[in-house]
Every structure is written in C-alpha cells, then in structure tokens.
Chains A and B, each alone.
Chain A
Amino acid sequence: MAFTLYSLIQAVILCVNAVAVLHEERFLSKIGWGVDQSVGGFGDEPGIKVQLMNLVRSVRTVMRDYIFFLFLQCP
C-alpha cells in the first residue's frame, strides 16, 4: 500500500466529516449517545463510552464551521 501524505489528509478529512454529520437529536439520542446521557459519576473516571461521546461532541462543535471549506479542497 503506497500512501502519500495527501491521501492521509484526505482520509482524515473524510473521517472528521463522518463524525461531524452525526446529528445530535435525530440520531445520537436515539442510540443512547446523546450529550444529555453522558452525566458521569463524579470522582470516578469516566468510561470509554462517555469519553467517546465527549469526543464526538467536541469534534462536531469545532468542525461545524470549517468542514465545508475543508471539503472544497478535495478534488
């Protein structure tokens, strides 16, 4: 498999886009990954699922504004 750096950048953009299009109300709440269901136990370390939900939410918050312009870069 011959990778170039450009194909890595394309793959990263596509993966970030895949995370960014997960809609909060229509989809994530239905499968129990909504942000209101991630109240973790205090003092205890959050589990993998809570960390993953936080990661999805942060990626969506950051990339919501920029993903369109990143997408314009791919031919």
Chain B
Amino acid sequence: MDLSHHGYRASAKPRARAAPPAGDPLLFDDTSSAAAPMNSQGYYTPGYDMGGAPPGGPGNAGVNNLFADPMASAAMMYGSSLANQGKDMVNKEISRYVSVNKLKYFFAVDSKYVMKKLLLLMFPYTHQDWEVRYHRDTPLTPRHDVNAPDLYIPSMAFITYILLTGMALGIQKRFSPEVLGLCASTALVWVVIEVLVMLLSLYLLTVHSDLSTFDLIAYSGYKYVGMIFTVLGGLLFGSDGYFVALAWSSCALMFFIVRSLKMKILSSLSNDPMGAGASAKPRLRLYITVATAAFQPIIIYWLTSHLVR
C-alpha cells in the first residue's frame, strides 16, 4: 500500500486491511469537519470486515471457527460499538476545551519541514523571508511554509530534553526516577509561566495580532531545541563546550524569536500618519519582543546548568 504522504491525500481510496489505524491520514487533510465522521466510520469498517471476509492463506481455519461462532462475533461487535461510543464521547469532551482542528494544523509536518526548521533554529542568520504565507485567509500548514510555527518540534524536543537530562544525571551518578519527573514538570511549568506572561502582556497592550495560545506555546517550545544542543555540547566537550554551545544557541534563538515575533507583533500596527511616532505603543511592543528574546538564554542556562558540572 502506498504509504507516502501523497497517498494520504487520496481520501476516497478504500481502506485496505493493512492500513495503520493510528496513522489516520484523513485527519491531516485540510481539517474540514466533513472528514471526521467519514473517518470514524472508515476506522471501524476493518473491524467489521474481518468478521465478514474470511482471511486467505494458512491458518484461517482457526480464525474462521472463531468468527463462525455467532456468540463470539456478536460479542466482538458489541465490544467495538461500545468502544466507538466511548471514542465519540471522549472526542466530544476534548473538543469542548481544545479546538482539535486548530491543533491538527500544528502537527501537519513532514520531515523536510523539520529539517529546514531545525536548521533555521540553529542558524537563522541567512534566512531572508520571515513572513508566514497565507492561502486564501488561512495560514499555510507547516508542511508548505517553513515560517509557520508547529507543535511537533517543541513536543519532540521536550521529550528528548527529558531523556538527555536523565542521561546527564546518570553520568553524574545523581539519577533517580523521581528526578526525571521533577525535571519534566519544572520545564513544563516554565513554559506555562512564559506563555501566561506573554498572553497577559499582549492583552494589556491591546496588540491585535493573530498570535493564538498555541502559537505562543510553539514559539516558547522552540527553546528546547537550544537546550538540547547546549546539553549535548556540555556532555561531549565538558564545561567549555557547554558555554560555547550556550552562547551559540542563545544568539541563534534570540535572533529567531525577534525576527519571527516582529512580523506578528510589530507589524500589526497600521501605518497611519499619527504624529512623529511619538506614541509609546511601538516602543512597548518592541520591549515585549526583546524581553521575550532575552528571557530565552536565561531560562536555558537555568534549566541546564545543573546538568553540566
């Protein structure tokens, strides 16, 4: 079966039994809600198909016996319908708090995007065009636009950072499983604090930008990539390598944050001829952007210095 990402677009294709149910590729299509009910039906037809069509090849005698037994097949159908109901209920509850469509946008990535974005995070100085491209009023998915924020890299980098922390603490013979959980929740709490402070300052200064909460979480989560690079430098090359890697990733991350947020925060000003730019608003917005950028090296140092002695 064609599992390349071009195959994901052909939503009219009938689902072969070998289709991995976890890789619901229909969900990555442009998040129209018409795809979702079709998908939840399509997800369970393999289950019913298995009861109907007997599998070919050796060893099907036993399987045929199981499904020829009406009690077993009835129980299986009942069980799958229960699971279906449970899944629908969970989806309904979750979609009341978190807009799942909006979340799907942030995870629509492919490996080319991830490579380019990681390169951009570590060396942003040669990138020319920082505008997020739009396609008929909706922002392009990260698959098509390298400037779009995504949540895949931050979440993967967070998990990698936790694993690296465990390894670094193990090298120092200070490891215990509780420390891992503590480190994970500390890092998460700092991200939450930073996102809340950003939201509060954007609200107070009435910046009408299109930065949603998930965008801010994404931009805050990009610092984990810097943290991983710093910890790796410290582990491989000792204390000197740690500070060199810290300086490099801090500068790169600061540049990246300033250039990315400048587009969103500062350019939401209208260019009306209102005096010689004497209002405090552009300055305060600039302060926010610079403060966000300056916060990144501090938190990177704070969260990684105890790993490298």
Contact = CB atoms under 8 A, between A and B. Distances in A.
Interface of A: 1-5, 7-8, 45-46, 48, 51-52, 55
Given A2-B182, A4-B182, A51 B189 contact: no
Nearest to B187: A3
Interface of chain B, helix or strand or loop or mixed? helix
A4 B192 CA distance: 12
B80 interface: no
B204 A52 contact: yes
Contacts of A2: 182-183, 186
A3 B183 CA distance: 8
17 contacts: A1-B302, A2-B183, A3-B186, A3-B189, A3-B190, A4-B185, A4-B186, A4-B189, A5-B185, A5-B188, A8-B193, A45-B281, A46-B206, A51-B203, A51-B204, A51-B205, A55-B203
A5 B186 CA distance: 8
Given A2-B182, A4-B182, A48 B189 contact: no
Interface string B192-222: 1100000000011110000000000000000
Contacts of B281: 45
Contacts of B189: 3-5, 7-8
Contacts of B206: 45-46, 51
A19 B189 CA distance: 21
A4 B190 CA distance: 10
Given A2-B182, A3-B185, A4-B182, A48 B190 contact: no
Contact of B192 (A1, A8, A46, A51): A8
